[in-house]
Chains A and B, each alone.
Chain A
């Protein structure tokens, strides 16, 4: 069996370069005293705080996050969904209920080592907003909306159908900044055992004789998360905007993650992001369509003609006169054609020449000027080219 790491790592308790921060945070806690207790004094030496301090700062790999985000956008665009970015107004924390020696855990993405919101959290968040805000909807309409968007009218119902929308995990697209925050609950056991409080028991009563207990926990200081939502079938496309509106409202008024009552987890939409994304996706689509059109056009042609038309497409010869007339280019193709005539290429060259230098092919040696002082209209190179083409015809 292989050796577990704990012992050796107790001596060098800092996170290795490039490590998965979540793995380090979850598995390598090494702040126990010899009797397995935790020093919880309020000072900086406090074991929990010391551990959290080891993971603060940026987490995640810029390039990997970007690539992953691009892949998600491609997937969501294919499903005719949309992606939007939201920036946290202040701190944000998720997964505090996960078990961990410092008591407050954290939600880490398994491969990207960044805090994130699972698709289930996003769905729950949007649902919470729809349930709690009527937006002028009648009870009936609201129930119908809950059923169609999320699959059930009431939480806890057995679903007869799946919801119409797919809520994807929301992830940062750049490394987020982690920090250590401290909460100081004052009322001791009131929070946990308050429902059984008796006047005779002073510990479970909320009163001013309790002492504040500082509890350090890991938070996200600043981050942007990209949310993706797609319709499950093609029809509810029109409602997608309303779902995003609900998400906007939920992030602005309810907050995501934990401790929203203390101001954590509120986010606002980065409106430019979706605009930019739309332009980018449209450009990408145009490129793809062009590429496909070209492929279809080339399918039946000879390999030589395929080469020619690819070159023509790259140089945009149809619209870019200079590129088409650049030194040696036409001559090169003419050399090839004189050895091995290809009608499609020749026809295209004739069409382009006619387009860019009108009249050249009809009368290459045309002259102008007073009788006796005539000068050729076209330059020598142009005339040569025209003669060669006309010979090939």
Chain B
């Protein structure tokens, strides 16, 4: 194989705001979403930028291996010389934390998301083995532990069905670094349609204001609504490394620059905007392909 791949799990430690610019539905600052499914995501360009920033902070802006891995700086006149050797995918949603009346929150996902995870893993040559539970009916929620009562997510009521999710939980624990017991308590699988609805309307939207210090009143016109992904959101993205274009750095060395060089001593990545108000910090788990 000439490419080397890894799947990177992201466990949000704080809220994430990867902004999409403007919107039409009353939220001033919405988050990035996939066009067709409206599932929240973080675009690959944002993820690549975040990786590059971390690398530049660590090694310095002019480090040659940064040029080989990510490509020459686009503002320099060398940008057209060669491309970077690292492909970075969108960070895709895996588990969405949703408020619940049953416990504080549940990690919600759906069959379509899990099938996509299997496809992505196959493409990356990483073997993940689990069966995707079947939930077609809306109003049904699959959990691994029996809930004493019906399950409440936001203001909706679900009837619970128990299923053996051991394989799935083992895989999720491997990708995210979350303890299996915790996953087993919190994991809920709902139908695709139901998930789309929650993914669209169960994300936190918070009002923000600016205060005029002299008068201690809200500055005129300073009220805006900002959407975020809650802490505990689980995302993942794919890294594929080629042999470098610049010199003969093999694919494996390119990938190791990220998986070892960046994440071995500091397993965190800051994604999206609002960094200085604590947003976007994710804990990183690396899953490299075998071959």
Contact = CB atoms under 8 A, between A and B. Distances in A.
Contacts of A350: none
Most chain B beta-carbon contacts within 10 A, residue among A5, A79, A118, A232: A118
A112 B104 contact: yes
A120 B103 contact: no
Interface stretch (B38-46, B118-126, B154-162, B251-259): B154-162
Interface string B54-88: 00010000000000000000000000000000000
A233 B57 contact: yes
Interface stretch (A17-25, A215-223, A269-277, A317-325): A17-25
B167 to A, nearest CB: 26
A184 interface: no
A97 B209 contact: yes
Given A28-B155, A111-B97, A155-B210, A20 B275 contact: no
Interface in B198-228: 204, 206-211, 213, 219
A128 interface: yes
A167 interface: yes
B193 to A, nearest CB: 9
A62 B95 CA distance: 23
B157 A19 contact: no
Interface in A143-157: 150-151, 155-156
A85 interface: no
B277 A20 contact: no
Contact of B281 (A23, A75, A233): A75
Given A71-B13, A232-B275, A24 B213 contact: no
Contacts of A388: none
Interface string B229-269: 01110000000000000000000000000000000001010
A123 B278 CA distance: 10
Contact of A2 (B13, B149, B156, B213): B156
A285 interface: no
B276 A232 contact: yes
Contact of A162 (B157, B213, B276, B283): B276
B183 to A, nearest CB: 14
A5 B278 contact: no
A3 B157 contact: yes
A110 B276 contact: no
A163 B276 contact: yes
A274 B213 CA distance: 30
Interface residues of A, number: 55
A93 B200 CA distance: 29
B277 A118 contact: yes
Contact of A132 (B105, B157, B213): B213
Interface in B150-200: 152, 154-158, 194
A356 to B, nearest CB: 37
B105 A110 contact: yes
A68 B208 CA distance: 24
Contacts of B97: 110-111
Contacts of A24: 101
B138 to A, nearest CB: 6
A75 B13 CA distance: 8
Given A1-B138, A20-B99, A111-B97, A128 B104 contact: no
Contacts of A167: 276-278
B276 A156 contact: no
Contact of A5 (B100, B155, B206): B155
A28 B156 CA distance: 11
Interface string A66-85: 00100110010011000000
B143 interface: no
Nearest to A71: B13
Nearest to B157: A5
Contacts of B232: 111
Interface string A162-178: 11011111000000000
Contacts of B104: 18-20, 60-61, 64, 111-113
Nearest to A132: B213
A4 B158 CA distance: 10
A151 B274 CA distance: 12
Nearest to B57: A233
Given A22-B99, A168-B278, A97 B157 contact: no
A23 B278 contact: no
A18 B268 contact: no
Given A27-B155, A61-B104, A162 B13 contact: no
Interface string A99-119: 000000001001111000011
B278 A169 contact: yes
Contacts of B204: 110
B5 interface: no
A325 B219 CA distance: 75
A71 B13 CA distance: 7
A228 interface: yes
B14 interface: yes
Contact of A166 (B101, B211, B275): B275
Given A2-B139, A61-B104, 11 more contacts: A4-B155, A75-B283, A98-B207, A111-B231, A119-B14, A119-B278, A128-B211, A128-B213, A162-B276, A167-B277, A228-B278
Interface of B: 13-15, 57, 97, 99-105, 138-139, 149, 152, 154-158, 194, 204, 206-211, 213, 219, 230-232, 266, 268, 274-279, 281, 283
The 3 closest A-B pairs by CB, nearest first: A119-B278, A119-B277, A168-B278
Interface of A: 1-6, 15-16, 18-20, 22-24, 27-28, 60-61, 64, 68, 71-72, 75, 78-79, 97-98, 107, 110-113, 118-120, 122-124, 128, 131-132, 150-151, 155-156, 162-163, 165-169, 228, 232-233
13 contacts: A5-B152, A16-B149, A18-B104, A20-B103, A23-B154, A110-B231, A120-B277, A123-B276, A155-B213, A166-B278, A167-B278, A168-B278, A233-B57
